[in-house]
Structure formats: C-alpha cells, structure tokens
C-alpha cells in the first residue's frame, strides 16, 4: 500500500522570518528595484535625488508614489509630476514604506487579504491625524498605519492554502492571533516587525507594528499609542487593542470620535485609490 504524503510543517519563528527574507531577496527585477529603494533610504548620505533615481527605475513604484503624492490626502492634486518632487512631498519614510509594499509583490488586490488597502489607508490616515496628540511624528505614525497589517499579507503569500485555512477557522469562531502563534511561532504583527527590523526601519515604528495588539498604556511609546488609537478609531480589527483604552491612551475623547471618524474617512478614500494599483 502506498504511504500517504505528509505535508511539511510550516516554518516558525526565526526560521519563518528567514524564509520570508530569503524569498524577498530573490525577486523579479521590478521588486528588486523596490527593495533597493528601501536600502537607499537607509543610507544617511542619501538625498532626495538619490531616492528618486532609485525609485524611478521601477515604473510601478514610481506610479504609486506619484498617485499618492497627487492624492487629495496631500492637497497637491495634479501638481506632482516627477519622482523627485514626489519624494519631497511624501518624505523618505513614506517612500520607504511604499517601496516595502512593492518589494513584497503585494499589488492590486488578487494576492491580498480582503480589504487590505482599505485598512491600510484608513489606519494610516487616522494614525497621522492622532500623532501630535501623543507627541508622535505624523509621517512615522502614517507609515506605521500603512504597514501595520503587512504581516497578514506576508503570511498569506508564504502559504496561501494554509493561511486561508486559518481564516476559515476564524470565521468559525477561533482567534487569529492564537492560531498564528501556534502555527508560526509568532503573530502577523510580531513577524512583520521582525522583517521591518531586518530592513532597518526605525525602531519605534517596528515596535508599534509589532505590538499594536498589546494592552494600551499611557506610558507606551508615542507611535504605538497613535497606531493603537487609530486602529480603535477605524474599528477594522476584531482582535485589536481594547477600543476604549486605546482611545484614552491616544487622548481621544468619546465626544470626538464621530467627527474624527468623518475626517479619517474623507482622507482615506483618495489614499486607498492611490495605493491600490
């Protein structure tokens, strides 16, 4: 009798991060260019012209940068016509975040978890809006919001059949964070933070992404508090931090929620359209 094939165990913990990094380093040409942009931004001697030149070699990344820079979010619709101007408008950290998204090959919607761009645009807009309340840098909070759910897309890319199976179990009442921990040895948040750390993203941004499911605390670093409050305000994460505690730690009063939600929705829609190439 022929023995049944046994499915290999998925990589976990550090081995999974290593597997993700190895995969991301063996990319098609356009994605390799985007990864180069991530590395160029990390060089302290880099100027806007250097970043624009590196990004300009990838038409898809260039188009996304121009679309985002020209979106109503930045208030310069139709006036940003070159990669160099786009870098100036967006700032290095946002360009690096957009390059990280491109480097993963996560474009359009086909390969992404449901509503990925909606969540990214909404939480990024909210985090930027709330950043100054907690003393965080708005562009860094924006980037944390943009990337906070990237780990779900990376895990699904690693093994779509397995991850979709986890999603089906969540639909049946199980909790995704626990399933990820058991399956991969880490959650989508912690594993994403490890990848971003390997790419030399700022430490506080990586902390915010990796720990945005933690219990909110007024003593937490500012970017994490801005991100947690943004997730709570947007209300897209069933396993996110306690909304009341997260908003309080972000200095958001309950009587402000409706107006802030309106502002976020207004800012997020053009941003989502610009991101979802």
Instruction: Output the pLDDT for position 33.
Output: 77
Q: How far apart are CA 125 and CA 114, in angstroms?
A: 19
Residues 123-177 have pLDDT tens digits of 999 999 999 999 999 999 999 999 998 888 888 877 888 888 998 999 898 999 9
- Taken in order of first residue, the domains within the chain and their CATH numbers are 13-275 (1.10.3210.10)
| Angular region, 130: left φ>0, alpha ψ -120 to 50, beta rest | alpha
pTM of the model: 0.83
CB 55 within 8 A of CB 68: no
pLDDT tens for 239-258 read 778 899 999 999 999 999 99
Instruction: Give the integer Cα–Cα distance in Å for 28 and 105.
Output: 9
Rg, the chain, Cα only = 19
Q: Which of 1-5, 41-45, 73-77 has the lowest mean pLDDT?
A: 1-5
Q: What percent of the chain has pLDDT over 90?
A: 40
Dist CA 258 CA 274 (whole Å): 25
Q: Which two tokens stand for residue 157?
A: 């890319």
**More confident site: 28 or 55:** 55
Q: How confident is the model over 177-212, as pLDDT tens digits?
A: 999 999 988 999 998 999 888 888 889 999 999 999
pLDDT band at 5 (very low <50, low <70, confident <90, very high): very low
Residue 105 CA to residue 103 CA, distance in Å, equals 5
- Would you place residue 226 in the very low, low, confident or very high pLDDT band (cuts 50, 70, 90)? very high
pLDDT at residue 273 above 90? no
pLDDT of residue 219: 94
CB 102 within 8 A of CB 87: no
Provide the CA 176 distance to its chain's centre, in angstroms.
18
Q: Write down the pLDDT at residue 122.
A: 94
- Helices 59-69 and 92-103, packing angle to 10 deg: 140
């Amino acid at each position: 009798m022929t023995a049944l094939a046994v499915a290999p165990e998925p990589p976990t913990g550090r081995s999974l991060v290593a597997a993700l990094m190895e995969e991301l380093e063996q990319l098609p040409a356009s994605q390799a260019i985007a990864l180069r942009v991530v590395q160029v931004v990390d060089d302290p001697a880099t100027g806007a012209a250097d970043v624009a030149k590196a990004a300009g070699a990838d038409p898809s990344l260039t188009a996304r940068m121009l679309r985002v820079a020209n979106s109503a979010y930045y208030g310069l619709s139709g006036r940003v016509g070159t990669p160099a101007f786009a870098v100036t408008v967006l700032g290095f950290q946002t360009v690096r975040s957009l390059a990280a998204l491109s480097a993963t090959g996560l474009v359009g919607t086909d390969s992404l978890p449901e509503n990925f761009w909606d969540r990214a645009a909404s939480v990024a807009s909210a985090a930027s809006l709330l950043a100054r309340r907690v003393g965080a840098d708005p562009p860094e909070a924006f980037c944390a919001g943009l990337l906070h759910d990237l780990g779900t897309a990376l895990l699904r890319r690693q093994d779509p059949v397995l991850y979709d199976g986890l999603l089906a179990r969540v639909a049946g009442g199980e909790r995704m964070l626990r399933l990820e921990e058991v399956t991969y040895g880490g959650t989508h948040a912690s594993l994403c933070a490890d990848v971003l750390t390997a790419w030399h993203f700022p430490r506080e941004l990586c902390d915010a992404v990796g720990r945005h499911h933690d219990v909110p605390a007024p003593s937490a670093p500012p970017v994490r508090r801005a991100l947690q409050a943004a997730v709570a305000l947007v209300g897209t994460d069933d396993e996110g931090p306690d909304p009341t505690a997260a908003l309080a730690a972000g200095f958001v009063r309950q009587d402000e929620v409706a107006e802030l939600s309106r502002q976020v929705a207004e800012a997020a829609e053009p941003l989502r359209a610009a991101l979802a190439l």
